[in-house]
Amino acid sequence: MANIMSELLPMFPLSTVLFPGMRLPLHIFEPRYRQLVADLLEEPEPRRFGVIAIRKGKETGVDGVAALHEVGCVATVRQVEPREDGRYDRTRRGWCRRRSAVT
């Protein structure tokens, strides 16, 4: 686990908290997060990324997030269902807590 704590991970800010062991279904529709999922699918398993709660701002839009909490969760992709229009439905599971370098 020490290695994952210093690894750079793509971040997915949400208005909810993901805890280790918790499952969270998502519908991915914004282009930047569609690309994040596409990039993750090209990587070998386990496909990991960071989930961090938004402290100030909102989930959608380029200027939506103004501030993030310091501690998030490393998540692993469990199931991805691509849609014809490029969106994704995805289930992920929280793996471990992690302090973010970006706040």
Total structural domains in the chain?
1
Tokens of 71: 């501690």
Note the pLDDT of residue 60: 65
Give mean pLDDT, residues 15-43.
88
Range of the domain at 80: 2-99
How much is the pTM?
0.73
CATH code assigned at 55: 2.30.130.40
Helix (H/G/I), strand (E/B), else coil: 66:
strand
Note the pLDDT of residue 103: 40
Look up tokens 């310091």; give the residue: 70
